[in-house]
């Protein structure tokens, strides 16, 4: 195996959320002036991990901040030469999009870029393909790795089969909170959350998943603790239209195209996200997200070659969130309750009166966009795979200048010496 760790790193001028309902707005962007960025803590935790061959850092920042963010990321990566970091910013992304545009000219939007959650993930997959990595391990920069065997656990099972003979090509671990709990915090929830029971339903699913075998079929994906093999990521793309929740959306995309995502109860990271600038803004983003999922899955049923993804197959979570009638009730009741009492009441009132309707209309208009792009994805990845010229350009442009001698590290050809033989059972 030749795995690579991919870390999207989001940067902003401040820690505020300026607008919502847009693919260029991110939950946890790091202020450019922050003394100790999350990325530094994340990379520091990776220093202990065995078998790291390369870490790809995707630099996401608004155009006016791109150079400053790149300089900060280069500086951070120079402090961790043993991780063999490769930084992908504007220049490197342009090299990738040039190849994509040549293979699939005329694609709408930015399906593989450094803007929008899904497109950013696609950029990570594209760079990994050009460099010949057969497993991509996604990690978020607001996480810390707790175990030297993190990467061994990440690739465990990939390329193998379950006892029922089902292939494992995509796998999720899970997050621990700062209190080392695998469950979402449901203490001290406001009364209005009784109609927005995402955490409770997630916890119910997680309890079942942790009580089963090490590898079990998953209904959920933790995007910052997610591994996907080349057979899957060269066949199925992330959705560049999704405003947030791109990892769970990728589970839907994989299922529609014949792949399952599996859950590994022995693989985890600790997540330490910063404070949410605006809960109302997050709520509106979720309204856009879930409405889009409902309409997208509805549109997929018109395509004969795709498998159907139903709410019943995703119980107890996230099944009810892709049931259109149930979703509408949850949105209306929660927006009304939060507009009556609590902080940001005016923002919730605007969501109740206008925002939820705009989200539904946008979802209906955008629902079929992904499927047109997805038809090109296998061809794009086939062209990118081990493209020597592109790989050479990425290594030259993306390697942060080393002003210090690289730290000594034992040479590791691959993880195969540390893992069970592929072809067996997970």
pLDDT of 276 reads 80
Q: How crowded is residue 96: how many other Cβ atoms within 10 Å of its Cβ?
A: 25
The CATH classification number of 3-277+369-396 equals: 3.90.550
pLDDT in tens, 104-152: 988 888 899 999 999 999 999 999 999 999 999 999 999 999 999 999 9
For the cut 60, the answer to whether the pLDDT of residue 406 exceeds it is no
pLDDT in tens, 284-310: 999 999 999 999 999 999 999 999 999
User: What band does 416 get if pLDDT is binned at 50, 70 and 90?
Assistant: low
pLDDT of 220 reads 96
pLDDT in tens, 335-389: 999 999 989 999 999 999 999 999 999 999 999 999 999 999 999 999 999 999 9
CA distances from 278 to 23, 54, 308 (A): 17, 35, 35
pLDDT in tens, 73-107: 999 999 999 999 999 999 999 999 999 999 998 88
Q: At residue 22, what are phi and psi to the nearest 5 degrees?
A: -135, 145
pLDDT of 426 reads 59
């Amino acid at each position: 195996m030749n795995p690579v760790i991919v870390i999207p790193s989001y940067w902003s001028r401040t820690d505020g959320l300026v607008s919502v309902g847009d693919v260029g707005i991110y939950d946890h962007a790091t202020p450019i002036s922050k003394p100790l960025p999350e990325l530094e803590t994340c990379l520091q935790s990776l220093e202990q991990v065995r078998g790291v061959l390369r870490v790809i850092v995707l630099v996401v920042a608004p155009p006016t901040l791109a150079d400053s963010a790149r300089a900060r990321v280069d500086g951070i990566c120079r402090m961790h030469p043993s991780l063999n970091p490769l930084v992908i910013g504007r220049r490197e992304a342009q090299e990738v999009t040039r190849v994509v545009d040549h293979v699939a000219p005329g694609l709408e939007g930015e399906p593989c870029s450094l803007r929008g959650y899904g497109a950013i993930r696609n950029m990570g997959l594209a760079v990994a393909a050009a460099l010949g990595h057969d497993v991509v391990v996604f990690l978020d920069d607001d996480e810390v790795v707790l175990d030297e065997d993190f990467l061994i656990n990440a690739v465990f099972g990939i390329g193998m089969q379950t006892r029922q003979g089902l292939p494992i090509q995509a796998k999720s671990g899970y997050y621990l909170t700062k209190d080392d709990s695998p469950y979402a915090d449901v203490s001290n929830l406001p009364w209005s959350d009784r109609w927005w029971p995402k955490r409770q339903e997630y916890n119910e699913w997680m309890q079942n998943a942790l009580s089963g075998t090490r590898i079990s079929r998953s209904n959920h994906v933790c995007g910052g603790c997610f591994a996907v093999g080349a057979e899957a990521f060269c066949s199925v793309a992330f959705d560049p239209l999704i405003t947030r929740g791109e990892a769970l959306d990728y589970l839907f995309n994989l299922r529609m195209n014949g792949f399952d995502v599996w859950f590994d109860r022995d693989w985890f990271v600790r997540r330490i996200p910063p404070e949410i600038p605006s809960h109302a803004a997050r709520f509106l983003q979720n309204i856009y997200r879930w409405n889009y999922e409902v309409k997208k899955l509805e549109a997929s049923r018109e395509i004969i070659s795709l498998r159907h993804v139903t709410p019943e197959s995703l119980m107890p979570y996230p099944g009810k969130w892709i049931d259109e009638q149930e979703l509408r009730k949850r949105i209306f009741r929660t927006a009304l309750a939060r507009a009556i009492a609590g902080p940001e009441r005016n923002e919730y009132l605007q969501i109740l009166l206008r925002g939820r309707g705009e989200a539904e209309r946008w979802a209906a208009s955008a629902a079929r966009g992904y499927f047109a792009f997805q038809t090109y994805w296998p061809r794009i990845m086939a062209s990118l795979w081990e493209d020597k010229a592109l790989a050479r350009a990425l290594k030259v442009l993306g390697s942060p200048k080393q002003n210090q001698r690289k730290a000594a590290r034992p040479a590791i050809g691959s993880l195969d010496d540390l893992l069970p033989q592929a072809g067996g059972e997970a």
